[in-house]
């Protein structure tokens, strides 16, 4: 399964109601779609795929996680740097 | 679902108290006392800064900012800052949007009231993540250090007995005995009561403590004002229990160490925190720590090492405190700041001459955080 599909599956499975027309560039954070509980679950999910001890203060979370496309790029970049 | 965001009003208080049970646990009496203490009796704000989300007229989310007062550079530079803390959403309304709405509204109210920044020192990991996403910035972590005592012979025996199910009655007796310690973690400390110049008390001595802070040298880093009004108010938190180890010399208080534990069943009630610790001399500081740990016989003690000088850090290490391993997202927290006035994102966020986003410019204590 592609990372983007995994991500979408995780978001919908965790009970977050996404608009029908959600796309890879739909704002998730700045738009308020993801609230505090959803963001925390997302952070745990990303950490599982990147590295334990992901420092959330070392990047602009609202910017770098705002869309599915950005999230995907973030995870891939951090996976590569962990290798 | 449609949400209406409104400021705090007295008529909503019963519903707010009910909502808070999701945060601090059952017991509306204790929750009511907490609300009264933190917001109505707060010595720094004469108004309640709190925003609520209503759904069909019912309170389903709240974000409260209580009053704090900070000093920097010299004691003439004092600033009132709203401290963002209580943040709760009714379970059936989570992931539906009211959380970010009340958070934004609370900050907007702070801006409207003319405060330069909002701060937060005790965000839970969930709130920490959402705060970062909402434009808060972290000055840095608290460098948590823990001391975990090796179980005594009695505790090891108790553990072994618990494992042996055939001794049911004996196991139950041991559980009762252990339970006493869990529910009365200050029992050993209270029984000791003190020795020499040191004494243990369940109540603070606000006047003497404030006078000691006044006498002690200070390097001008950002710190909470610890005056008579603060000390009188601070330890009345109905969700916490405190103990004070004092050092007196010829009628003058020369040092104190404050221990705290949580009373809410939703918190870690077995953990003891050192939330404040001041002394006029190094040997007094060292003895206060030694006495508190030795007399208290606590299984787990926690404190922040951030901002402490090398001698104090060494003292903590000598007594078995070790740094927490690199925290996963599940445990991350830290000192958070959010500008309220028209501060350009590129500007240095300052209080006096100090940089709010530089942890070295702070002199933090757990006491300044509502976790302490």
Domains and CATH numbers, chain B: 4-141+330-368 (3.40.630.30), 144-323 (3.40.630.30)
Residues of chain B in contact with residue A29, where contact means CB-CB under 8 angstroms, are 133
Range of the domain at A76: 3-15+34-82
Q: Are B151 and B159 in contact (CB under 8 A)?
A: yes
Listing DSSP states for B283-322 in one string gives HHHHHHHHHHHHHH--SEEEEE-TT--HHHHHHHHHTT-E
Q: Does A15 touch chain B (CB under 8 A)?
A: yes
Q: What is the mean pLDDT of chain B?
A: 90
The answer for A 28-47 residues in CB contact with B (under 8 A) is 29, 32-40, 43-44, 47
Give the residue on A whose Cα is nearest the Cα of B137.
A57
Phi first, then psi, for residue A69 (nearest 5°) are -65, -45
Residue A25 falls within a domain, yes or no? no
To the nearest whole Å, the CA of A56 is away from the closest chain B CA by: 7
Q: Does A53 touch chain B (CB under 8 A)?
A: yes
Question: B100: buried, middle or exposed (CB in 10 Å: 19+, 13-18, 0-12)?
Answer: buried
pLDDT at B116: 93
Residue A21 falls within a domain, yes or no? no
What does each C-alpha distance from B147 to B193, B273, B323 come to in angstroms?
Answer: 22, 10, 9
Residue A54 falls within a domain, yes or no? yes
- The contact set of B with A (CB < 8 A) is 87, 89, 94-101, 103, 125-130, 132-135, 137-138, 140, 326-330, 332, 334
What is the per-residue pLDDT across B215-271, written as a single tens digit (0 to 9) for each? 999 999 999 999 999 999 999 999 999 999 999 998 899 999 999 999 988 888 889
> What mean pLDDT do residues B172-191 have?
73
> What mean pLDDT do residues A51-80 have?
90
Of A58-67, B208-217, B276-285, the range with the lowest mean pLDDT is A58-67
pLDDT at A12: 84
State how far the Cα of B331 lies from the Cα of B342, in Å rounded to an integer. Answer: 32
Residue A28 falls within a domain, yes or no? no
What is the per-residue pLDDT across B85-125, written as a single tens digit (0 to 9) for each? 999 999 999 877 888 899 999 999 999 999 999 999 988 89
Whether B342 shows a pLDDT value over 80: the answer reads no
Residues of chain A in contact with residue B328, where contact means CB-CB under 8 angstroms, are 47, 52-54
Neighbour count for residue B251 (Cβ, 10 Å): 6
- Asked if A37's CB is within 8 angstroms of B89's CB, the reply is yes
pLDDT at A75: 93
State how far the Cα of B338 lies from the Cα of B191, in Å rounded to an integer. Answer: 45
Whether B174 shows a pLDDT value over 70: the answer reads no
To the nearest whole Å, the CA of A2 is away from the closest chain B CA by: 24
Structural domains counted in chain A? 1
Length of chain A: 83
* pTM of the full structure: 0.88
What is the per-residue pLDDT across B9-56, written as a single tens digit (0 to 9) for each? 999 999 999 999 988 887 899 999 999 999 999 999 999 999 999 999
Residue A24 falls within a domain, yes or no? no
Q: Does A19 touch chain B (CB under 8 A)?
A: no
- Asked if B329's CB is within 8 angstroms of A56's CB, the reply is yes
Residue A60 falls within a domain, yes or no? yes
State how far the Cα of B148 lies from the Cα of B151, in Å rounded to an integer. Answer: 9
Whether A30 shows a pLDDT value over 90: the answer reads no
CB pairs under 8 A between A and B: 80
State how far the Cα of B214 lies from the Cα of B226, in Å rounded to an integer. Answer: 9
- pLDDT band at B358, cuts 50/70/90? very high
Residue A7 falls within a domain, yes or no? yes
pLDDT at A51: 80
Angle at B344 (CA atoms; ends A31, A25), nearest 5 degrees: 25
State how far the Cα of B223 lies from the Cα of B68, in Å rounded to an integer. Answer: 10
Of B146-155, B157-166, B281-290, B331-340, the range with the lowest mean pLDDT is B157-166
State how far the Cα of B86 lies from the Cα of B109, in Å rounded to an integer. Answer: 16
For tokens 């996963």, name the residue.
Answer: B328
Whether B210 shows a pLDDT value over 60: the answer reads yes
Tell me which of B3, B99, B129 to substitute to probe the interface with A (most A C-beta atoms closer than 10 Å).
B129
Whether B323 shows a pLDDT value over 70: the answer reads yes
Tell me which of A56, A67, A78 to substitute to probe the interface with B (most B C-beta atoms closer than 10 Å).
A56
Residue A57 falls within a domain, yes or no? yes
pLDDT at B168: 62
Question: A58: buried, middle or exposed (CB in 10 Å: 19+, 13-18, 0-12)?
Answer: exposed
To the nearest whole Å, the CA of A44 is away from the closest chain B CA by: 6
pLDDT at B97: 81
């Amino acid at each position: 399964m592609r990372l983007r599909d995994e991500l979408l599956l995780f978001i919908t499975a965790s009970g977050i109601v996404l608009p029908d027309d959600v796309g890879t560039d739909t704002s998730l954070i700045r738009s308020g779609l993801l609230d505090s509980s959803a963001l925390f679950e997302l952070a745990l999910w990303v950490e599982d795929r990147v590295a334990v001890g992901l420092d959330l203060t070392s990047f602009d979370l609202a910017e770098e996680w705002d869309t599915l496309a950005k999230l995907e790029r973030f995870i891939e970049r951090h996976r590569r740097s962990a290798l | 679902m449609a949400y209406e965001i409104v400021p705090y009003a007295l008529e909503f208080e019963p519903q707010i108290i009910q909502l808070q049970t999701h945060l601090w646990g059952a017991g509306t009496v204790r929750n009511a006392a907490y609300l009264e203490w933190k917001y109505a009796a707060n010595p720094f704000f004469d108004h309640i800064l709190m925003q609520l989300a209503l759904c069909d007229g019912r309170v389903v989310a709240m974000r409260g900012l209580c009053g704090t007062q900070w000093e920097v550079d010299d004691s003439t530079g004092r600033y009132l800052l709203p401290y963002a803390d209580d943040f709760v959403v009714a379970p059936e309304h989570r992931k539906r949007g009211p959380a970010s709405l009340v958070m934004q509204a609370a900050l907007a109210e702070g801006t409207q009231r003319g405060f330069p920044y909002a701060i937060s020192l005790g965000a839970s990991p969930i709130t920490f993540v959402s705060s970062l996403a909402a434009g808060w910035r972290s000055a840095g972590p608290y460098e948590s250090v823990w001391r975990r005592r090796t179980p005594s012979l009695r505790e090891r025996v108790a553990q072994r007995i618990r494992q042996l199910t055939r001794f049911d009655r004996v196991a139950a007796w041991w559980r009762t005995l252990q339970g006493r310690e869990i529910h009365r973690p200050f029992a050993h400390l209270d029984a000791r009561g003190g020795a020499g110049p040191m004494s243990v008390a369940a109540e603070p001595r606000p006047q003497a403590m404030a006078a000691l802070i006044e006498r002690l040298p200070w390097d001008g880093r950002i710190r909470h004002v610890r005056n008579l009004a603060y000390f009188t108010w601070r330890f009345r938190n109905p969700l916490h229990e405190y103990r004070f180890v004092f050092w007196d010399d010829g009628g003058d208080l020369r040092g104190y160490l404050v221990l705290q534990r949580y009373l809410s069943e939703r918190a870690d009630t077995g953990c003891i925190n050192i939330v404040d610790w001041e002394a006029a001399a190094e040997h007094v500081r060292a003895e206060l720590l030694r006495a508190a740990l030795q007399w208290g016989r606590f299984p787990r003690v926690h404190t922040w090492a951030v901002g402490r000088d090398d001698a104090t850090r060494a003292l903590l290490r000598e007594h078995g405190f070790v740094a927490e391993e690199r925290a996963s997202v599940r445990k991350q927290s830290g000192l958070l700041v959010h500008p309220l006035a028209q501060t350009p994102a590129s500007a240095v966020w300052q209080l006096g001459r100090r940089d709010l986003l530089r942890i070295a410019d702070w002199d933090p204590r757990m006491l300044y955080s509502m976790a302490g």
